[in-house]
Chains A and B, each alone.
Chain A
């Protein structure tokens, strides 16, 4: 319905886009404010209390700390828009270089985690719904309930104990890089499993209740009555119609996937952005921390925006809400 009315659609998209840009701006102000305006001298934080007054003054000048706050914000955001996030103090290279270097690791983990999460959730959720009220359903619900309570870092430790320490099938951590594809995949198996089992547990519950709702609808009964097999009805009729709430939850859960990736990288010592952010905290490398926090928050905001837009395309009923 919404698609039949391009004017309304355009109005909706423009509104959402403006909202998205405003959100990003607000997030950048918050990040900048917390990292810069709060009491304390960043130069002192970076160099420590033993630093000489001269060194402090040099660093303040280099960081532009003597400029008024709003100029510093504009410089930072202007640079960031052009891909310049300043210079890392501990690594002595541009922050953007560090990001480009470590991005593939983080993206590999996030994508493999997301894909396995979704497969796991759809299969378990639909299977549970198809066996509603039977032992299979109870089993999935029980696992999902436990999965929600298990911290991903503990699950990681248990997986390392079993598969790396006892059985010695997989490496306990580290990443050889994609130049060694087999080694890279082997190194990604446990982190992906830890990420996907926890995230998948939450999503399996949503999939199950969403599929149950669709299965109660008349056309599903009609399809079954017209002689289509149970499996066919489940995958061809129920699942596509159950996808709308699932997409929403995937979007909402993206923030926890990002957090999960940061945690898992640290558990397995994977050289990605999540590991970099913690190295930067211990190195008191404020420009790097600031850039990475902004990057992670921007990714979350962007994905939520994309999900919002997709939502309208897959569910025309939403027209009423615009």
Chain B
């Protein structure tokens, strides 16, 4: 590997830059108003005005895909940040206190794995009615045990280092050590996990929105665009293609980026792969 970046890191970074770039661009510019309906222009083919054509209500596809990218990134970011922060906190706590607290936290984390995001979203939607907030909550929730595990496993290794023993000998408390020494040293595996979970979150949001448990109209979402396209499959099959491609590009980008980051930050893995 001698100093060269792994291929998956480069491809991942390019795809992520593309998706995030488009999402950011949609904040200041889209070719058309994404929600503007002109029934006269419905099912327009791709041309110079509508680059990918229009949908059943005459809305511009490209503009919708761009705004949907922004929505998807926002949901993934918020969900992974919330779930990740709580999970890291529990992981640090488990590692710092050890004993029965650690056992309990990890047991509860195991139970958390029994709940796929979809089941959680189903429960919340049945009680409160479906909304994007519920999708975010469900995705954030399943991230908690994932991050708790990664954090605790990495933190337990750092606790055995000499400099931590030195800090303890110098009279620093468990929480101060967790903050000052453990957290900075587990940043790499946590960031790698975060990148991979970002991909999982994009996929989960798309699935929830497709099933009607996520983004509600008129807020565009790749998943919801696909569920609308499915009803028009005989009339306008092309509508079912582009949103799916966007999901694949975004998910592929983040998961390749995560794999690549792991390859360069975990020297043990690097040697095994070479």
Contacts and interface: CB of A to CB of B under 8 A. Distances in A.
A300 interface: yes
B111 A26 contact: yes
A172 B231 CA distance: 11
B233 A160 contact: yes
Nearest to A297: B114
B212 to A, nearest CB: 8
Contacts of B187: none
Nearest to B113: A255
Interface string A23-61: 100110011001100101000010000000000000000
B175 to A, nearest CB: 28
Contacts of A114: none
A296 B255 CA distance: 28
Nearest to A280: B126
Contacts of A157: 226, 229-230, 233, 240, 244
A255 B114 contact: yes
A261 to B, nearest CB: 10
A145 B256 contact: yes
Q: Chain B interface residue count: which class? A: 35 or more
A100 B116 CA distance: 23
Interface stretch (A80-88, A90-98, A115-123, A147-155): A147-155
Interface stretch (A5-13, A183-191, A281-289): A281-289
A19 B106 CA distance: 13
Given A145-B252, A149-B199, A281-B126, A154 B115 contact: no
A259 interface: yes
B207 interface: yes
Interface in A215-264: 255-256, 258-259, 262-263
Interface stretch (B52-60, B117-125, B164-172, B178-186): B117-125
Given A35-B126, A277-B122, A293-B119, A151 B203 contact: yes
A97 to B, nearest CB: 20
Interface of A is mostly: helix
A309 B250 CA distance: 38
Nearest to B247: A151
A158 interface: yes
A151 B211 contact: no
A35 to B, nearest CB: 6
Contact of B123 (A31, A45, A300): A31
Which of A161, A286, A289 has the most B CB atoms < 10 Å from its CB?
A: A161
A38 B114 contact: no
A160 B231 CA distance: 12
B255 A258 contact: no
Contacts of A304: 113-114
Given A38-B128, A263-B207, A284-B126, 17 more contacts: A23-B114, A26-B111, A34-B123, A45-B127, A145-B256, A149-B248, A149-B251, A150-B248, A151-B247, A153-B207, A157-B244, A161-B233, A262-B118, A278-B122, A281-B125, A289-B122, A290-B123
